[in-house]
Chains A and B, each alone.
Chain A
Amino acid sequence: MAAAVKGSKPLLSVKGLTASAGDLEILKGIDLEVFPGEVHAIMGPNGSGKSTLANVLAGRPDYTVTGGQVLFEGQHILKLEPEIRARMGLFLAFQYPLELPGVRAWQFLKAGVDARRVHNHEEEMSAREFDQMLKAKVEQVQIDPDLVKRAVNEGFSGGEKKRNEILQMAVLEPKLALLDETDSGLDIDALRIVADGVNLLRSPENAVVLVTHYQRILDYITPNHVHVLFDGRIVRSGGPELAYELEEKGYDWIKDAVDVGV
């Protein structure tokens, strides 16, 4: 496991973040700091706001940020378009990856890679260079090479879609990857492949925020920090042991603890 680089600046710094969908307030004040090299797991019951947090950070237009701030590498990002955040190195693995009939994976991924390179004042990749890189990534994350030849996610199984998210992550090489319940709905083999992919991409320079309902994936990806989100707030933070405590006691334990103000 890559250790957090002590004394470094946070990659992501979230302070007092509140957000709503329509009239419904979902995030009620989130504080979170993620340092390079770290893996954070955000756990919580359904409806606690975990997915909203991941999506708000990525800039999904369905949510309105009502307060607080988010800094990515020291830069305020809440007013930036989602594509700018992506080009800065932020990646969201979708809970429900969309099917893009007619969009070839090659074209889609190269457009993403090139957008980021142009943003960083680099030249677009040549087709040949991109081919080689893509081939290497396909091998690295052990995805079926045929999936890359097809339209993005079209007719893919749930597991294939999730694996494809991991491939996209590998290709785009984000500094911060937000995984929105990437583990849900996966059988044990698919889960292992997804986890292997994430572990492979961990480095002292980048970080992962893993949003999950279940402790299961944490058997394969060991987090540095575990946070429990409940009713739009982080109500507990701790080490990996917190995940096991949750597994053992269930989310009712947290609900009860919050209710009595412990």
Chain B
Amino acid sequence: MTSAPAKYAHYFADFQSLIQGAGAGAPNWLKDLRDTGWSRFNETGFPTARRGNERWKYTNVGTIAKTDFRLAGGPTPANSSKALAPSYRMEGASVFDLVYIDGRYSPDLSSPAAPSNGITAASLASIASDSKFSLEGQIGRYAPPGDDGFAALNTAFLYDGAYIYVADGHSEKVLVRLSYTTTDGTSPRITHPRTMIVAGQNTDITVVESYSGPKDNVYFTNAVTEISVGAGAHVDHYRLLLEGEKAFHVGTNRVNQERDSSFSSASFALGTALARNDLEVLLDGPGAYCSLNGLYLTADNQHIDNLISIDHAQPHCTSRLNYKGILDGRSRAVFGGTVLVRRDAQKSDAEQTDKNLVLSKQAEVDSKPSLLIYADDVKCSHGATAGHIDPDTLFYLRSRGLDLDTASRMLVQAFASEIVDKVQVEPLREYLDALFNAAIPNKSLPVAEAR
């Protein structure tokens, strides 16, 4: 059995109690995977912004490393946490709800898919031992523990999460809502949500993954999501960061796309002390299409880091990357977007943009879009902007009778709406629209210097 450096003693203690307690009944492959994760975490630890570590250049996770985050002791009463989950409704024949409290699946709050019909939407813990789901080799395939310290730690603590699978040719639209909620505890809590989505050929899956927790508690969500999009399948993936203001969130997302598949993602983030959204998409079959969108709104001393990478590994693939940020206070947004076009990926079509609207004089944006192109017959573009509200535009609205605050607010809302409007699920779109509109600060905004 491996031991641990003193600084990770609390993780070691929790790891021991997991593998000897709740996780003791896991199949061997899962036990091995956890061990690999734990060893890997001990080797790498948490990433630092050391020289040459481009992936963590602008984001300091020192506070995460220094805090004694612990697993929640036992199951939390379901009713105490209900109010924390996002409150939009969704109805329909193939709508499934999986709710997790402090990292554990809550059967009382969930409505999983009945195990039939070629659809699985179930708690990982409940099916891990069932060989008919053949999870061995699937979990960790796209997000191996070697990716970085966070993925390794998540893998070490792999116990519960969601497994969503739709069999080949099942064309009915399947909608799954995953809610990962942390409740308040006396000491800082950590959860390691793990999500695996497998879309068979020509299937159509929508997944809304949301993360929430108490407003005033320090806690840490260390999530990993793996998505496999089969040939001709369509996956619509939403990621809602509704964490508390003192929360830390690191999300590692890995997506693999086969021939002629399409993947749309929209990441919405509000008010987390530190949030990292790491998303990698591998376009691994000709004709694959992905559209990756994001909207973040930060205030105070909040920090958000979006690290997005798209790998055009095959010809005739299209990617669209469109992230937008609204920054207030002394908050900081980091954006790293990489589009890699491999040598044989001819006829690749890639566009990426990151636009930031800065509402205060002190907020800061570090945006670094990059294109790495090794094929010659491609169409690629990128761009990044950061600035205050345009004074000419503001005057245009004021000249129609709108006061400064109303005009500014309308422009900030309009800026956000481009991403919100991409949400295909109507109740979710309305929920997000209201959520972001309410979060836009009510104040006079600085405007860019007049030309």
CB-CB under 8 A from B413, the residues of chain A are: 102
26 A-B pairs with C-beta separation under 8 A: A61-B395, A62-B395, A62-B450, A82-B395, A82-B399, A83-B398, A83-B402, A83-B403, A91-B399, A94-B396, A98-B393, A100-B411, A102-B416, A102-B418, A103-B410, A103-B411, A108-B400, A108-B410, A111-B400, A111-B406, A112-B401, A112-B402, A115-B400, A115-B401, A115-B403, A172-B400
CB-CB under 8 A from A98, the residues of chain B are: 392-393, 396
Residues of A at under 8 Å CB distance from B?
58-62, 81-83, 86-87, 91-92, 94, 97-98, 100-103, 107-109, 111-113, 115-116, 119, 151, 168, 172
Distance A107 CA – B402 CA, assembled complex (angstroms): 11
Q: Which 7 A-B pairs have the closest CB atoms?
A: A102-B414, A115-B401, A112-B400, A86-B401, A102-B417, A103-B414, A82-B398
- How near does chain A come to B399, taking the closest CB pair, in angstroms? 5
CB-CB under 8 A from A172, the residues of chain B are: 400-401
Knowing A103-B411, A107-B410, say if A92 contacts B392 (CB, 8 Å): no
CB-CB under 8 A from B421, the residues of chain A are: 102
Distance A135 CA – B406 CA, assembled complex (angstroms): 25
CB-CB under 8 A from A119, the residues of chain B are: 401
Contact between chains at A86 and B450 (CB < 8 Å): no
Cross-chain contact of B401 among A60, A97, A116 (Cβ < 8 A): A116
Distance A87 CA – B395 CA, assembled complex (angstroms): 14
Which residues 361-405 of B have a CB within 8 angstroms of A?
A: 391-393, 395-404
Interface size on B, residues (CB 8 A): 25
- Name B412's closest neighbour in chain A (CB-CB): A102
Contact between chains at B400 and A97 (CB < 8 Å): no
- Name B418's closest neighbour in chain A (CB-CB): A102
- How near does chain A come to B17, taking the closest CB pair, in angstroms? 50
- How near does chain B come to A62, taking the closest CB pair, in angstroms? 5
Distance A232 CA – B421 CA, assembled complex (angstroms): 47
Interface class of chain B by DSSP: helix
The yes or no answer to B415 lying at the interface (CB within 8 A) is yes
Distance A102 CA – B421 CA, assembled complex (angstroms): 9
Knowing A61-B391, A97-B396, A98-B396, say if A115 contacts B414 (CB, 8 Å): no
Contact between chains at B450 and A61 (CB < 8 Å): yes
- How near does chain A come to B449, taking the closest CB pair, in angstroms? 11
CB-CB under 8 A from B417, the residues of chain A are: 102
Distance A101 CA – B390 CA, assembled complex (angstroms): 13
CB-CB under 8 A from A87, the residues of chain B are: 401
Knowing A102-B415, A102-B417, A103-B411, say if A81 contacts B400 (CB, 8 Å): no
- How near does chain A come to B440, taking the closest CB pair, in angstroms? 13
Distance A61 CA – B390 CA, assembled complex (angstroms): 13
CB-CB under 8 A from B450, the residues of chain A are: 61-62
Contact between chains at B414 and A92 (CB < 8 Å): no
- Name B450's closest neighbour in chain A (CB-CB): A62
Contact between chains at A92 and B401 (CB < 8 Å): no
Contact between chains at A108 and B397 (CB < 8 Å): yes
The CB with the most chain B CB atoms within 10 A, among A82, A115, A151, is that of: A82
Contact between chains at A81 and B398 (CB < 8 Å): yes
CB-CB under 8 A from A107, the residues of chain B are: 410
